[in-house]
Amino acid sequence: MQIQIDEELIVAKRQPPGYCNFTIATQLGRILDLVEKRFGPRDPSYTILGVEFHDDSPCIWFPGNRHHVAVQLSTVTLARFGHIVFQLAHECVHLLDPAPGGTNVLEEGLASMFQLQFMHALEPEGDWQLANARYEAAALLIAPLLELDADAIRKYRSRHGPLRGATPERLLDVTPGLPASIARRLCLPFPY
């Protein structure tokens, strides 16, 4: 299969003195910085290797057994930089506390909500939508948590660790006003 790649995605070109265009690598750094500012520092025991493309859904994966993590994006995005950034924004949330295995509704909802907010800020006129109803439902379910406390995720991770280990009791510890039914649903395994 022949794939056309816009060289702007991977070739850094000098702009005004001291600046370069945003490549995939620099977008990764830019988005990850924003994710950490909003939701707390990432687990530094994992080395982020970078971004690669495959013929499947975007994800993070763990090559070898060395605490390395790579972001895999869909090859269909290669011709559309905005779509690369859209997928990358989602996966950057998973880089906070990477671990093999599944996630829960809380983590997927946060990643989905963040990617939508990021893209709407980047391209306000864009029509960015989640392609899967399960991700959309998860993004909607996390809204009440963040409406009660915009720093709930940062607080949760600081007190209790990775989101994938969330329990309703721990969520209610961080946001006591959250309805218990929502806390329970956020802690369910995400249905891929």
pLDDT tens-digit profile, the chain (192 residues): 566 666 666 666 666 666 555 788 989 999 999 999 999 999 999 999 999 999 999 999 999 989 999 999 999 888 788 899 999 999 999 999 999 989 999 999 999 999 999 999 988 888 899 989 999 999 999 999 999 999 999 999 999 999 999 999 999 999 999 999 999 999 999 997
Asked if residue 192 is part of any domain, the answer here is: no
- Which pLDDT value is given to residue 187? 98
Q: The tokens 């218990």 sit on which residue?
A: 180
| SS3 category, 132 | coil
Quote the Cα angle for 164-165-171, to 5°: 100
**CA pseudo-torsion sign 82, 87, 93, 96:** negative
In-domain check, residue 32 = yes
Structural domain includes residue 1: no
Res 11: pLDDT? 60
Q: What is the pLDDT of residue 22?
A: 72
Q: What span, in angstroms and rounded, lies between the C-alpha atoms of 87 and 95?
A: 13
What are 91's two structure tokens?
A: 């996966």
Provide the Cα torsion 127, 75, 68, 41; round to 10°. -10
Q: Is residue 191 part of a domain?
A: no
Please give the tally of structural domains in the chain. Answer: 1
The pLDDT of residue 19: 58
Please, are residues 148 and 177 in contact by the beta-carbon 8 Å criterion?
A: yes
pTM of the model: 0.92
Q: Is residue 131 part of a domain?
A: yes
Residue 2 domain flag: no
Note whether residue 95 is domain-resident. yes
Whole-angstrom Cα distance, residue 144 to residue 126? 25
- Report if residue 91 sits inside a domain: yes
Q: Give me the domain span that covers residue 166.
A: 7-186
Given this model, what pLDDT does residue 35 score?
98
Whole-number Å distance between alpha carbons of 15 and 145 = 42
